[in-house]
Each structure stands twice: as C-alpha cells, then as structure tokens.
C-alpha cells in the first residue's frame, strides 16, 4: 500500500506578513523558509550568552567606526518571494525607512549573524543557501560549541565564494563594509 502524498501549504512573504499582523502566530517565534512557516528553537543560556556578548561587541564596533548603521536583534527581514527569516542580529541602514510596521527590507541589510548552538547544520546549510540566493552580501555564523565565527561573503547562486573562520577571542573584520569587531568577550 502506498503512503498518502502530503500537500504542504506554501506561503509568500505578503501572505506571511498578513498572518503575522493579524496575530495568527500568537507568541510563537516563526520565520518563513522556502515558503514554509518554521517555528524557531527555544534560546538556551549558551546561545543567549554568545548573542548578548557578540551584540555588545558589534554595537561597540559600530560606535567606534562612527557608523550610521543600526544593530537590531531578532527582527524579521523580508527578502521577498518565500524567505522572511528572523535572524539573531541584523546590521542594516534604517535611515531611509519611514514605515516601521513592516519587516526590515533585505536590500538594506549589510550583515546578518546567526548564533548557532543546536542549529549549526541548518545555519551553514539550508539557511546559508537561502541567504546567498537572496543576495545577502555578508553572513556570519557564531558557532557556540566550536567557539568560532564562520564568516561568509560574495554570494554566488545558493552559496558564498568566500568562507573564513575566526576563533572566539580574536578580532574579526567585516568584508563588505567598514567594521572591526573585538570578540574577546566570547573567549
């Protein structure tokens, strides 16, 4: 006997945003990935600690650089189509935005950082492919267990041409805009 075929409902970003505005997800933290609504994992202490400390280091680096860019945490970013993630950290140019009732426009994002504790295979696999395909110029994964930042730049199709690893505790420099981050607090 053959197993029944599942018909999964797929959504685009406009449909997803309409559902979010009406409260369809309640207090659930969700993102849109390949048209599917994905519930995000709970945040445990190891993840939260790295996110907090790296966020402080990123904010300090932006201030030292006298940058006009903003650091936001856990905001929805709309890349259009069927991809609207909610990354851990977003550095973007909010100066031209007037409608704050919408997700962050993907074309204004300079850097996304995902802090990865239990989700490393996805963050450097499927999610990386979606960010690259969306044209995100630079993507970092803070790998909690291996105590390193995996930096990606130069999107080509659904991957990145450049991949570099920086251990926690060392200085890391963005490749696509002026920013140098001291990660000593992560060591």
How far apart are the C-alpha atoms of 127 and 114, rounded to whole Å? Answer: 10
In a domain, 95, yes or no: yes
In a domain, 72, yes or no: yes
**What is the reported pLDDT for 100?**
81
Mean pLDDT of the chain: 92
- The predicted-structure confidence for 148-178, as pLDDT tens digits, reads as follows 999 999 999 999 999 999 999 999 999 999 9
Q: pTM for this one?
A: 0.88
Q: Which residues pair with 37 in a beta bridge?
A: 32
In a domain, 13, yes or no: no
* pLDDT value at 76 more than 90: yes
Q: How confident is the model at residue 9 (pLDDT cuts 50, 70, 90)?
A: confident
**What is the reported pLDDT for 1?**
62
In a domain, 11, yes or no: no
In a domain, 14, yes or no: no
Instruction: Count the domains in the chain.
Output: 1
* pLDDT value at 73 more than 90: yes
Distances (CA, A) of 21 to 24, 46, 74, 132, 160: 8, 31, 17, 27, 33
- The CATH number linked to 51 is 3.90.1570.10
| SS3 sequence of 138-162 | EEEEEECCCCEEEEEEEEECCEEEE
Give the closest residue to 160 by CA, choosing from 149, 147, 150: 150
In a domain, 87, yes or no: yes
Enclosing domain of residue 173 = 44-186
In a domain, 24, yes or no: no
Weakest mean pLDDT among 4-8, 54-58, 145-149: 4-8
Residue 96 or 104, more confident: 104
Phi, psi (deg, nearest 5) at residue 10: -110, 145
């Amino acid at each position: 006997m053959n197993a029944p075929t599942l018909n999964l409902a797929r959504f685009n970003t406009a449909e997803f945003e309409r559902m979010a505005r009406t409260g369809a997800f309640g207090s659930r933290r969700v993102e849109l990935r390949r048209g599917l609504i994905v519930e995000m994992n709970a945040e445990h202490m190891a993840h939260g600690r790295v996110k907090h400390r790296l966020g402080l280091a990123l904010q300090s680096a932006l201030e030292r650089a006298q940058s006009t860019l903003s650091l936001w945490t856990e905001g929805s970013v709309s890349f259009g189509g069927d991809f609207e993630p909610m990354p851990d950290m977003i550095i973007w140019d909010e100066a031209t935005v007037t409608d704050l009732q919408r997700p962050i426009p993907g074309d204004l994002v300079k850097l996304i950082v995902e802090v990865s504790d239990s989700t490393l295979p996805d963050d450097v696999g499927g999610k990386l492919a979606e960010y690259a395909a969306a044209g995100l110029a630079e993507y970092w994964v803070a790998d909690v267990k291996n105590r390193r930042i995996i930096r990606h730049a130069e999107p080509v199709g659904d991957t990145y041409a450049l991949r570099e690893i920086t251990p926690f505790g060392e200085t890391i420099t963005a490749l696509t805009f002026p920013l140098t981050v001291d990660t000593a607090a992560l060591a």
